[in-house]
Structure 1
Amino acid sequence: MMADLHECVSELERWATGRAVVLTGSGNTFCSGGELQTVQKILHKGGDMCKLMQFTTSRLYSLPLISVAAVNGHALGGGAELTTACDFRVMTTKAKIGFVQARMNVSTGWGGGTRLIGLLGRTNALLLLSSGQVLNADQAKALGFVNEVFDTEDIASEARKWINKTLVGDFTVTRNIKQMVLEGANMEDLAYTRERELFTKLWGSELHLKALNANMKHK
């Protein structure tokens, strides 16, 4: 799935006339993060996995398109990080978002921690990352993390309608505005590098293994 996402982003980068893209999950789950058995198999590959996903999510974040994360269910751990790689976030009333990495005795590694600071500020980012709190739709909206909440089973359709109604002007105007905002934000590569270093220290550690074996992510 990580490789598929990488290829999707590459395809979007080649879409010269694109204006917006919606990222959503299948069924009633947006992305619940690392599956237990898969994580056990790649414990020795944490740095490589982190490097790939930072590269992929930073490219998604930097697309000339406007991106919307349509959260249709649980977005946990890496799933929560994926939502930060989009320009906007919308949720269903039943969806939940949680940076639960601390429950697993690791930290964010896909650039989500760095992006979260830009989205919510230092204090709120620190609170969410260190507490492992799982936010419902109302809490995420009140915090300013989510732009809209929809009572629907088809959040992707609502996201498309919402972004089409929100954006004005030709697609070339939208792409120019996105580029201007990206350059203004001037996210530093150093922050990504440091986040990767901190993640790699914890991934596969004794503490991480203990939390994995106890399935602490969902407790």
Structure 2
Amino acid sequence: MIGRKIQIERKNKVALVTMNRAGKKNAFDESMFSALENVTDELKQDLPRAIIITGAGDDAFCTGFDVNPKNPLVADFLKVLDSNDIKSAGRLVNRIRKAVDGFISLPVPIIAAINGLAYGGGMELATRCDLRVMDPTAQLCFSEVRLGLMPDWGGGPYLTKLVGSAIASDLILTARIINAQEALKIGLVNRVSGKGCSANEALNLAEQIAQNGPNAVRHALAVIRQSQGLSLEKALELEAEMAAELITSGECMHGITAFMKKKKPEFPDCKKQPSSQR
């Protein structure tokens, strides 16, 4: 794992994913997007019960796209500007989004441990996670419009779902920096850790999740993720469908039996995804 631009460390039933370009503030070049796809494939082969993603070092979670002439994607970007070809621009955006979408679509809870600067695409990645834990000294910024760009890692719609259109407009259109206290107040992050402890706080949160029925967590998460794009009626239908599927999995027998015996339940790992994600 040493030398890999994105590393995986297994901690019991939790996977810690670390973006490992501390010298570049964990910014993404072409090889980082490929590494994220490889990590996604690796996690699919042996899904943990929860995933934490964080940045190497103490300074940055991730500062988004690496604007460096040596980054092949920058050369592609310049060609698009020169050609003014909207189809080429679309392919470039889709190349970036494909890697991020694949990771975020893993069917277990994903927690961002924001240990430092989260700018641009890095802030979008954190926003698309299911939960966020933030170091009190970290800074958040949707910085794209400063460069004449806009969010394109999926952060705009996800931010709007999290905090509403008015606050999303404020953060994206001004590109202002916000601190942990404001992020917690507006609901952008779930918890603020002690200084230097965002990964440990995220691990505590992940371990709480991992103690619960893995089938129950995955089915509930599927409903949470998908219901925001549905009408209330359709969301209720999805919840009922997922609840029925979960009951027939038999996992609840472990929880009910342990409860009646006044013991802590021990749930076996699950191998199947909810039907809505297959």
TMscore range, shorter length:
0.7 to 0.9
- Aligned-pair CA distance for 1:151: 1.7
**Residue of structure 1 aligned with 2:174, choices 119, 131, 152:** 131
Structure 1: which 5+ residue stretches go unaligned?
188-219
In structure 2, the partner of 1:149 is 192
Shift >6 Å, 4+ stretches: none
- Aligned partners of 2:211, 2:162: CA distance in 1, in Å? 23
* Cross-structure match for 2:104: 61
Task: Quote how far apart the aligned CAs of 1:40 are.
Answer: 4.3
Give the drift of 1:122.
1.1
Q: Is the 8 A contact 1:62 1:182 kept in 2?
A: no
Identity of aligned residues (%): 30
| Alignment match of 1:14 (pick from 38, 45, 56) | 45
Cα distance change on mapping 1:36 and 1:53 into 2, 3 Å? closer
SS of 2:167 mapped into structure 1: helix
1:101 pairs, out of 144, 155, 158, with 144
Pairing of 1:23-172 with structure 2 (within 5 A) = 23-28=53-58, 29-37=60-68, 38=71, 40-43=74-77, 44=79, 46-165=89-208, 169-172=212-215
| Residue 167 of structure 1, CA deviation | 6.0
Contact 2:34/2:99 (8 A) holds in 1? no
Mapped to 2, the partners of 1:11 and 1:50 lie a distance apart of 24
Superposition RMSD in Å:
2.0
Bigger helix share: 1
Q: Secondary structure at the match of 1:134?
A: coil
TM-score (norm 1): 0.77
CA distance in 1, matches of 2:100, 2:166: 23
Partner Cα distance (2:105, 2:229) in 1: 11
Separation (CA, whole Å) in 2 of partners of 1:48 and 1:159? 34
TM norm structure 2: 0.62
Deviation of the 1:158 alpha carbon? 1.8
Between 1 and 2, higher relative CO (CA 8 Å, sep ≥ 6) is seen in: 1
- 1:173 is displaced (CA, Å) by 1.1
> Unaligned regions of 5+ residues in structure 2, if any?
1-31, 81-88, 231-278
Q: Closer, same or farther in 2 for the Cα pair 1:60/1:108, shift >3 Å?
A: same
Instruction: Say which SS state the counterpart of residue 107 (structure 2) adopts.
Output: coil
Contact 1:60 1:85 in 2 (8 A): no
Partner Cα distance (2:97, 2:62) in 1:
16
SS of equivalent to 2:113 = strand
